[in-house]
Structure 1
Amino acid sequence: MSAAASDSILGRNLRRFRRDRASLAWGVVFALFLLAAIFAPLLAPHDPAAGSLLRRLQPPGWMEDGEWAYPLGCDALGRDILSRLLHGARVSISIGVVVALVASCFGTTLGLLAGLAGGVVDAVISRIVDVLFAFPLLIFAIGLMGMMGPGLLNIILALVLKDWVITCRLVRGQTLDVRDKEYVEAAVAVGASRWHVMTREILPNILSPVIVVATIRMATIIMTEASLSFLGIGVQPPTPAWGSMIADGRGFMMDAWWVSTFPGLAIFLLVLSVNLTSQGLRDAFDPRLAR
């Protein structure tokens, strides 16, 4: 299949996605989160790490000099919750995007190799995938973080080492199906290299489900990162993270509900926007639902 035809298919799928008003609306919500994360230093009214016991557990809407200086209130250390939410969005979204991208690239490469090479290569990759599938993502990440220690890079590594298997299994199955198509057999017949067959004939035709799965996995990755930070083995202070913000406020739920509630709502809305956007992408990229 030519590159022009692949572009036409991609454009047609994106047009179907734009016609899904609900998914498009949630895509806009995700885009707002993304913009807030990118421009957090400009949007945040205060330093997210600057605290003062004079502002300890101040409620939402607290004013200074006649202005709404702390619209979402302050936490137990007097730090501005709004500023910490904005900077925490950078952590959650960056981890979600990086892990989904790296895991998708790694899983796609191994899935293509397994599907095309077959034999021993396929057997070895498939057995590794089967073993890793036996471990739930959160349990696997907790075990690795316990060995490697907390930190942003360690979180990314721990999540990538488990998450690539989803894409790998998908791509292997797609490759086994596509490799018997006429255009692939024609490329092989004229002497095309295995690299050419893999990157020019097979990959463009299986890229759509890979994109959809990567988008869906972002929500799970964000939730897992928040869980690790909540447990204290994820992103470490003073870097703000939504999971650790919820953990900081769990002891004040009766007296200062806002400390945990706002980061919890942020996680809820971000994950919901990713899930519903990915659902729209799945429907748009599924040829069985073409209309």
Structure 2
Amino acid sequence: MSAAADKAGGAASASDRRDSPFLRNLGNFAGNRMALAAAAVVGIFVVLAVFAPLIAPQDPNETDLFRRLQPPVWMAGGDWAYPLGCDGLGRDILSRIVYGARISIFIGAAVILLATTVGIMAGLAAGYLRGWVDVAISRLVDILLGFPYLIFAIGLMAMMGPGLQNIVIALAYKEWVIPCRVVRGETLAAREIEYVEAARALGASRGHIMLREIMPNILSPVIVVSTIRMAHVIILEASLSFLGLGVQPPTASWGSMVADGRAFILEAWWVSTFPGLAILLLVLSINVASQGLRDAFDPRFHE
């Protein structure tokens, strides 16, 4: 009798795990082959960024003017030691692309982490506390959304100067408004749900209700939105570096590599083309993967 009960309990537990909304949504994502392939490409870029010193075939900052504008290996004059050719200073393009992935992914992840944290806190406060707190935060969000993102970031970088830390601050300074609006809307809906009303009736503090009752139940749309926004942040970082306001030489950055190749676009197209393709591939993969996440985790797409 006891063994049968244990077996039934184990079966029920396994069934609960299978019926978990998170696992079910994760299964929906895994069933989307295109999104899964895109996520795999993003994973490859992450591996390149983390293990760049082990993967890059050459020192990304080592110059050799004898190899200046050396073509890719499949063209006349190419060398397998420099498979994608060399730039105007004789630096290996493949190695600089590998190290450039570090910059793009680090800045993208740091900006999204900082902006999402601030946005969640501000959105929870605006949506739950309402009143003057909601008015103040909403007006600030409206003001920041009124400025073009790139121009706003250029202005901040011009004031603060170049550097990784300043790039993260300049991009996160406005990026937080996106998760803030999402969290505010979700909080407005969640504050009237039964479990929140029950916690309020039991005398739970505002902080407890916001952080322990509401926040865990609204994270799915925030994660999806933040993933989508990461692609946008990577493009902005590349744009700042292209304009000379981002990562400074000799540090490898895809945006600055594209800028360096402008002078040789006709005679040495590979200098700017390959880093440009890296930006395109990473951003496209993040967008496709994030669309798959949205389709899997947003219940409106299963109605």
TM over 0.5: yes
> Which residue in the other structure is 1:36 paired with?
48
Deviations 1:224-283, CA, capped at 9 Å, x for gaps: 000000000110011100000000001101100000000000000000000000000011
Deviation at 1:9, TM superposition (A): 2.1
Partner residue, 2:185: 173
Is 1:216 the counterpart of 2:219? The answer is: no
Q: Distance in 2 between matches of 1:241 and 1:233?
A: 12
Structure-to-structure mapping, 1:202-213, within 5 angstroms: 202-213=214-225
**What letter is aligned with 2:122?**
L
Cα distance in 2 between the residues matched to 1:288 and 1:158: 34
Contact 1:57 1:76 in 2 (8 A): yes
Partner of residue 271 from structure 2, selected from 255, 259, 262: 259
SS of the aligned residue for 2:69 comes to coil
Which one of the candidate residues 61, 64, 68 is aligned to 1:52? 64
| Number of residue-to-residue matches in the alignment | 285
Pairing 1:27–2:61 present: no
Q: Deviations over 1:39-80 (max 9, x none)?
A: 1110011110000110000001189xx971000000000000
- What are the equivalent positions in structure 2 for 1:190-209 lying under 5 Å apart? 190-209=202-221
Paired-residue identity, %: 65
Q: Deviations over 1:171-207 (max 9, x none)?
A: 0111001100111101111111212211221111110
Instruction: Output the amino acid matched with 1:172.
Output: R
Distance in 2 (CA, whole Å) between partners of 1:67 and 1:110 is: 54
Segments of structure 2 that go 5 or more residues without pairing to the other structure are 1-15
Choose which of 240, 245, 251 in structure 2 pairs with 1:228.
240
**Consecutive aligned runs of 4 or more in structure 1 exceeding 6 Å deviation:** none
Q: 2:138 aligns with which of 122, 126, 133?
A: 126
Which residue in 1 is equivalent to 2:112? 100
Measured at CA, do residues 8 and 200 of structure 1 come closer, stay the same or move farther in structure 2, by a change above 3 Å?
A: farther
CA RMSD between the two structures: 1.7
Letter in 1 for 2:223: I
Post-superposition offset of 1:290: 2.8
Q: Per the alignment, in what secondary structure is the counterpart of residue 69 of structure 1?
A: coil
| Aligned match of 1:162 | 174
Q: CA contact under 8 A between 1:62 and 1:73: conserved in structure 2?
A: no
Q: Kindly indicate whether residue 162 of structure 2 is the aligned counterpart of residue 150 of structure 1.
A: yes
Aligned to 1:69: 81
- Structure with bigger gyration radius: 2
